[in-house]
Chain A
Amino acid sequence: MYFETWAAAWAMEGHGAYVWWAYLVTMLALVAMVLAPLRRLRRHVQWISGDIKRRGATEPVRADGAAAGENA
């Protein structure tokens, strides 16, 4: 570690507030950037499993366009 104490690392010779805030803001933004699509994905998956239950079967609704080469 470059700094001798944790207090020195926190203060960074007067620049601590700038540096730590910049890292905090960045971390929050990056976490949100990954969590947002994850939550959307989970919501969609929940809707689909609910839909499967509602219809009372896991039978495919649409059997035609299910081929692996489908480009849609």
Chain B
Amino acid sequence: MWSFIHKLGSPPWFYRFSGTFIRWLLPITVGMLVCGAIWGLLIAPPDFRQGNSYRIIYIHVPAAVVALAGYYVMAFAGAVSLIWRIKMADVAMRAAAPVGAVLTAVALVTGAIWGKPTWGAWWVWDARITSMLILFFLYLGVVALFEAYENKAAAAKACAVLSLVGTVNIPIIYKSVDWWYSLHQPASIKFTGESAIDASMLYPLLLMIVAFYFLFACAVLLNMRAELVWAHRQSSWLRQALGAA
């Protein structure tokens, strides 16, 4: 286990590992997304109250779930880079930020489209939605903050601090539907007790959630590879690896 973590910090090892990993994971992920979308759009039954508009759940919920989990990944990587000064953790933190921002945007946009036929409004300043909007700005903030600094070491440190401070928002998002009177419906899937969703709707949703997690992993690894290749453009290990490929 420790040797695996140690290897993760080594750019040549990471470059080889991530290449093989993505080559397998990306086609599987695309297949899962296509299956999940067809299942959710055409095969699953409609909701007895919301009709067919609920089918947006199969993209909205996975995007939101992974956007939240992705923030923990980013903040954890930020903490590792602050505490142990591991360069790879800093690369991972910055690779996760734009991916998280896209997923949060997807959750917000699909939520707005779902809101129109369900609540009668594209947007409401609801606790859940507002805290998700803050999450979006936190992700963008990490991207923008890094660009704003000339000194990239200081930029990485500032981004790590920002991402750590922003974790306060995550439990607020989770609990917002319970703490405040909210238009947003509470979670239908529960780890403890029975889920408030039928199996015919639950399975495609779980498939899509796993697929979105995989896609997040692929996109973050690709961002890290792009960053690593540029940072090591003069290194002989990379030139040999590219020459052999």
Determine if chain A interacts with chain B: yes
Enumerate chain A interface residues (CB-CB to B < 8 A): 1-3, 9, 12-16, 18-19, 21-23, 25-26, 29-30, 32-34, 36-38, 40-41, 44-45, 47-49, 51-52, 58, 60-63, 65-66, 68-72
* A9 and B240 in contact, given A18-B117, A26-B106 (Cβ under 8 angstroms): no
Are B240 and A68 in touch, CB under 8 angstroms?
no
Complex Cα spacing A69 to B14, Å: 11
Enumerate 5 A-B pairs (CB-CB under 8 Å) in ascending A order.
A19-B53, A19-B56, A22-B60, A33-B102, A37-B219
Return the chain B residue nearest A38 by Cβ.
B222
Q: Which 5 A-B pairs have the closest CB atoms?
A: A60-B236, A37-B222, A12-B52, A15-B53, A40-B226
Are B42 and A1 in touch, CB under 8 angstroms?
yes
Per DSSP, chain B at the interface is helix
Residues of B within 8 A of A63 (CB): 236
Return the chain B residue nearest A42 by Cβ.
B226
Complex Cα spacing A1 to B95, Å: 39
Are B239 and A60 in touch, CB under 8 angstroms?
yes
**13 other contacts beyond A18-B114, A61-B236, with CB at 8 A cut-off?**
A2-B43, A13-B46, A13-B52, A22-B60, A33-B98, A34-B222, A37-B225, A38-B226, A41-B226, A61-B234, A63-B236, A70-B12, A72-B11
* A25 and B106 in contact, given A34-B26, A44-B229, A72-B231 (Cβ under 8 angstroms): yes
How many chain B residues sit at the interface, stated as a range, is 35 or more
Complex Cα spacing A64 to B11, Å: 15
Complex Cα spacing A67 to B224, Å: 20
Are B9 and A71 in touch, CB under 8 angstroms?
yes
* A58 and B239 in contact, given A22-B110, A30-B215, A37-B226 (Cβ under 8 angstroms): yes
* A29 and B105 in contact, given A9-B42, A15-B51, A41-B222 (Cβ under 8 angstroms): yes
Complex Cα spacing A51 to B105, Å: 38
Complex Cα spacing A41 to B230, Å: 8
Complex Cα spacing A26 to B44, Å: 19
For residue B1, CB closer than 8 A to chain A, the reply is no
Residues of A within 8 A of B233 (CB): 44, 47-48, 51
Complex Cα spacing A41 to B236, Å: 18
